[in-house]
Structures are given as C-alpha cells and as structure tokens.
C-alpha cells in the first residue's frame, strides 16, 4: 500500500531548509570529493546485485550516479534531490533518459511508483534525518524499491536517535530499528567501505522480501 505521509518534525523542516539554501560551493566541491568511495560503491553494487534501475535519494551534483553510469551504462538512472542548482548541474552531466526529480525525499511516493526501481540507495543523507522520520522513510523506500535498499551511512544500534552535531543537524540511527517493520533481511558492516568517513562509515544492505 502507498505509504501515507506523516507530519514533519521541526528538526526535519530545519534540516530541509539547511539543504535547500546551502551555498553552491557545497555541490561544486562535492563534485570530486570522496571519489574513491563513490567509485568503489558503483563497482560494489555492480558486482553484488542484479539491477536494471537505480535510484539515489539525495544525489546532490550526481557523482555517485555518474560513477554508476560509467561502470553500468545499461542501468536506468533515477534520483531525487532538494537543492535546485545541484539538481540542474546533475541533470547536465547525467544521461538524458535519466529520471531526475527536484523534490523532497519525504514525498518520494508522489514521483515514483510502487516497485519502480530495483535498487535504491543513500550516501550521507539519512544522517541528516531526525528521529521520528526514519521509520517512515523505510516504509517509503521499501514501497518504491523492488529488491534492494543500500545505505552508506552511520549505524549504531545502541545510540538510536542520538544527535551527533548541533550545528550540522546530524543524527545517528539504528538501521535494524529503522527496518524492524519491513519484511527484509538486513546486513550491516564497516569493513567493506572504502574511504569511509563521518556520515558514510557503514554499509547497510537491506534485501527486501517481496515474495517473488
């Protein structure tokens, strides 16, 4: 069933406003930041999963999607991003037949159909989602993805919802808790992540069980 929207918390609104209004220098410098991790990720999903469509939530200037297109040119690229200029930049460098949405991840089900993509992922995005919103997102993501959800984020089972940084609106989450209501298998590890850093330390692999 299509997930019903929930009321956003004050922190969710604050975090959204932060990302909508951040200076263009953020996406300009993100273009060649953490390239080893982004290249590794594109190859990792290519080697471990079978997918013909991929969706990145919070793609910023589109480097992850560009790397995926480089190694898997047959895969259809999809994504959603909140920052207008980052979105337009990504659109100019990604394949023309990509489905790129300028919008909010909390409204993802308005733009994508049930099971529309095989693999949905985030990198350094859920860390900016406050407590009270992440279980809703698990529901939305598992509605739109048919097979897999991958997060490159920070996991800590013992500290779910703890605020990491007051200035920067960042929270740690337990991903086992985030997905506790979803029919899936979840694997969480640190070792495989190349060039791991704050907000992108763990590989969280959610294998959806949609009974095919």
Ligand X SMILES: C[S@@+](CC[C@H](N)C(=O)[O-])C[C@H]1O[C@@H](n2cnc3c(N)ncnc32)[C@H](O)[C@@H]1O
Q: Are 148 and 85 in contact (CB under 8 A)?
A: no
58 binds ligand X (CB under 6 A): yes
What is the end-to-end Cα distance of the chain in Å, rounded? Answer: 17
Stretch touching ligand X by CB under 6 A, among 78-86, 130-138, 143-151, 161-169: 78-86
Region 80-99 residues binding ligand X, contact defined as CB under 6 A: 80-83, 86
What is the contact mask toward ligand X in residues 113 to 152, using x (rule: CB under 6 A)? ----------xxx--x------------------------
Minimum Å gap between C-beta 183 and ligand X is 25
Size of the residue set binding ligand X (CB under 6 A) = 20
Alpha-carbon distance of 192 to 203, in angstroms, equals: 7
3-state helix, strand, coil in the chain (%, to 5): 40, 25, 35
Q: Locate all alpha helices (DSSP H) within the chain, ordered by sequence.
A: 10-21, 24-30, 35-48, 63-71, 84-93, 108-111, 134-144, 175-178
Alpha-carbon distance of 157 to 175, in angstroms, equals: 7
Minimum Å gap between C-beta 173 and ligand X is 15
Positive or negative, the CA dihedral 20, 162, 200, 98 is negative
Q: With respect to ligand X, which residue has the nearer C-beta, 106 or 136? A: 106
Q: With respect to ligand X, which residue has the nearer C-beta, 27 or 51? A: 27
169 binds ligand X (CB under 6 A): no
Q: Enumerate binding residues for ligand X (CB under 6 A).
A: 16, 19, 30, 58-60, 63-64, 80-83, 86, 104-106, 123-125, 128
């Amino acid at each position: 069933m299509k997930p019903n929207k929930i009321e956003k918390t004050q922190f969710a609104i604050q975090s959204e406003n932060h990302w909508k209004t951040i200076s263009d220098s953020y996406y300009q410098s993100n273009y060649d930041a953490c390239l080893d991790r982004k290249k590794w990720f594109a190859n990792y999903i290519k080697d471990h999963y079978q997918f013909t469509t991929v969706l990145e939530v919070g793609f910023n200037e589109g480097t992850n999607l560009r790397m995926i297109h480089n190694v898997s040119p047959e895969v259809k690229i999809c994504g959603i991003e909140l920052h207008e200029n980052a979105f337009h930049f990504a659109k100019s460098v990604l394949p023309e037949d990509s489905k790129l949405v300028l919008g909010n991840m909390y409204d993802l089900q308005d733009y994508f159909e049930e099971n529309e993509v095989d693999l949905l992922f985030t990198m350094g995005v859920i860390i900016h989602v406050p407590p009270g919103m992440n279980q809703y997102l698990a529901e939305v993501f598992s509605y739109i993805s048919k097979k897999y959800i991958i997060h490159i984020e920070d996991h800590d089972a013992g500290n779910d919802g703890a605020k990491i940084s007051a200035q920067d609106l960042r929270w740690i989450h337990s991903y086992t808790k985030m997905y506790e209501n979803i029919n899936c298998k979840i694997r969480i590890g640190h070792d495989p992540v190349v060039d791991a850093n704050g907000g992108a330390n763990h590989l969280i692999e959610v294998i959806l069980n949609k009974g095919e």
